[in-house]
Amino acid sequence: MTISHSLAFALCVFPFMALCQNASFHKSPIISVPKFKTIHFGSIVDVYEPQWQTREAPEVGGDAHARHLKGIKEHIRWAYPEQSGAAALLRGTAEPPVILQSFFGNNATTGIPCDNHIAVNDDRQIISVINSHLAVMDPGGSTIKSFGFLAFTSELGLATNVFDPRVYFDPEFGRFVLVFLAGSSSEATDIVVAFSQSSDATGEWYIYTLPGNPEMGLTWTDYPMITLTSTDLFISGNLIRDDVSWQEGFEKTILWQIDKNEGYNGNALDMRLWSDITFEGQYIRNLCPVRYGDELWTDGPYFLSNKNFAVESDSIFLLRVTGNIHDTTAVIQAELLFADSMYGVPPDARQTLGLLATNDARILDAFLINDQIQFVANSRHPETNTAGICHGIITNVSTTKEVELNHVIGPDGLELGYPAISYVGQNDIDADAIISVNHTSTIRFPGVSALYYHPVDGYSDLVTIKEGDGHISMISGVQRWGDYSGSQRVYSEGQRVWISGFHGVATNRNFAWVASLATPGFTSSTKDNAPQLDAARVIPNPVGDHFTIELTTRQIHEEICIELYDARGRKLTELIRRRSVPIGNHIFSFNAAPLENGTYFIRFTDRGDLIAIETIIRQ
């Protein structure tokens, strides 16, 4: 019997039921799981980076868009025909967020769906994950290390269909936590949990596996979501029945509670499983963790859920685990709240050619600050009956719990999906947020946008972060738009976030796009102290057989190094290294004849510190 199966047996033998208000649940005793392996990410060799692309796990009758949800969306298009020229698509006087950095995210491969997520350790390293692949990048967009998850799941003896990665940065301990799934059948399903030994994402990681079929039934785990408190890691997931789509095969939602400190130390993990989570006898589906807006929870976290397959509903479920992993009196509390307006399953979004799948209306991201929870979800826009997003605000969380729900859609027929949200206030009395979102329309390719929310000034206009270069056409029928996006506050400088979204490229495939955004009027407190280039310009661009780089330096640089990288972030060559570069204008010329046609990056550093990065196109 494997470790995962032994743990599953222990969890299903010893559960007990507890009741709190209108909620019920099973709560297992604490189980200890040994470390599975220690892996040094920087030493992983993955030359060919093979990928297993899971289009839908599992596919049903060859139709990746399952019948149940497809029927709901067909009903929506019939019952709620599209309306043009809606009066108020966005409202408010807030200025849009500032785009500080913007570049390709993990672009080693594509995923079906993309499922991109992101974590950042205060601008030194970015982890960009997509389905089946991880890349560690620097803040300028260069790849430090990348590999497919198959590079070590095969070594661990796990299933080769790897999907749904999530990554989190712990600002208190300076560690990363990575969670992904391996296997989509009851006979082969595991949750892989990895803790970085330090803040260096390319260093050692401690690897653990949890059973994806903890109750030893005919189910497997799908769609994990994670959050951290000062003591615990929480992982929610949905149990799906074998050989049935995630839409129709939902069994129940489970919640793992894990002692994260043991994971950081590479010790055996203490954990417990919460299951059979119901409200008034009905299983609650999908538990979206509510992150603490500024740093970490000091006590039990909140979770949100809703009626994700409803055509129209105002129901919001608010749950809370009342204690940490070692609190024997901890329970799950649950309340049913009602929003001031309706949300519902959106129709699939239109491209220039074809449709993008919007899935359901589940809550995708949330944070709490100053006794207020803000959350985002896909939803049908009530005025246009097209794909939009809703932004919810639960005020007075500790007392009256009032829910305001605002719908957002883009101008000129721009449809939105898969939002992420982060808090960008400066202290715990603020409620500012940046919402990032994927966009598409019949006249614009799929890309990434964002808006800023201010509690007084309202919503800003959408700002385009990345305009797509092509429509998506990777499978037959409705195309995948990605099941989620990523957003993380820069904890050391709270007015900024890093986000990861979805865009189409000219070959009609999808790739992740990463950007750093800030509140309107933001100026960095460290900007004047960092070595910088006032200007770096490639002439001509696109380049022919030769190109020239014009530099204007505003301070003396000890040693400038100029390097060439390919589109996958691999270093091709060092072009030049120059010591004692004075203030002024400088010109360097290079021969581009050996380069194949494509996209490349020119990276400028001063003694290892990034000072600029430029994109060139060879054609």
Helices (H), 435-558: none
CB 471 within 8 A of CB 354: yes
**pLDDT (0 to 100) of residue 263:** 97
> pTM of the entire structure?
0.82
- Contact criterion met (CB below 8 Å) for 586 and 576: no
Task: Report long-range pairs for 530-537 (Cβ below 8 Å, ≥24 apart).
Answer: 530/609, 530/611, 531/555, 531/557, 531/606, 531/609, 531/611, 532/611, 532/612, 533/604, 533/611, 533/612, 536/602, 536/604, 536/612, 536/614, 537/614
> What is the mean pLDDT of each successive set of 10 residues along the chain, which is 619 residues long?
57 48 84 93 70 43 51 70 58 88 80 89 88 89 87 80 94 95 93 95 95 94 95 96 81 95 96 94 93 85 95 96 94 96 94 94 96 96 90 96 92 93 87 96 96 94 93 92 93 90 91 94 53 62 78 76 78 81 76 83 77 76
CA distance 420 to 118: 11
Query: Which two tokens mark 451?
Result: 């808006």
**Side-chain half-sphere CA neighbours of 307 within 13 A:** 15
**Whole-angstrom Cα distance, residue 152 to residue 131?**
15
Contact assessment for residue 87 and residue 455, using Cβ atoms and an 8 Å cutoff:
no
User: Which pLDDT value is given to residue 62?
Assistant: 34
Identify the pLDDT of residue 50: 54
What per-residue confidence (pLDDT) applies to 556?
73
Residue 344 to residue 407: CA distance in whole angstroms: 11
The reported pLDDT for the residue numbered 466 is 93
Instruction: Please report the pLDDT score of residue 56 as a whole number.
Output: 43
pLDDT of residue 561: 85
3-state DSSP assignment of residue 8: helix
**What's the CA gap between 255 and 15, in Å, rounded?**
13
d(CA 214, CA 334) in angstroms, rounded, equals: 23
What's the confidence (pLDDT) of residue 222? Answer: 94
Instruction: Supply the pLDDT for residue 4.
Output: 62
Chain-centre distance for alpha carbon 386: 24
Q: Where are the beta strands (DSSP E) in 344-386?
A: 349-350, 355-357, 363-369, 372-380
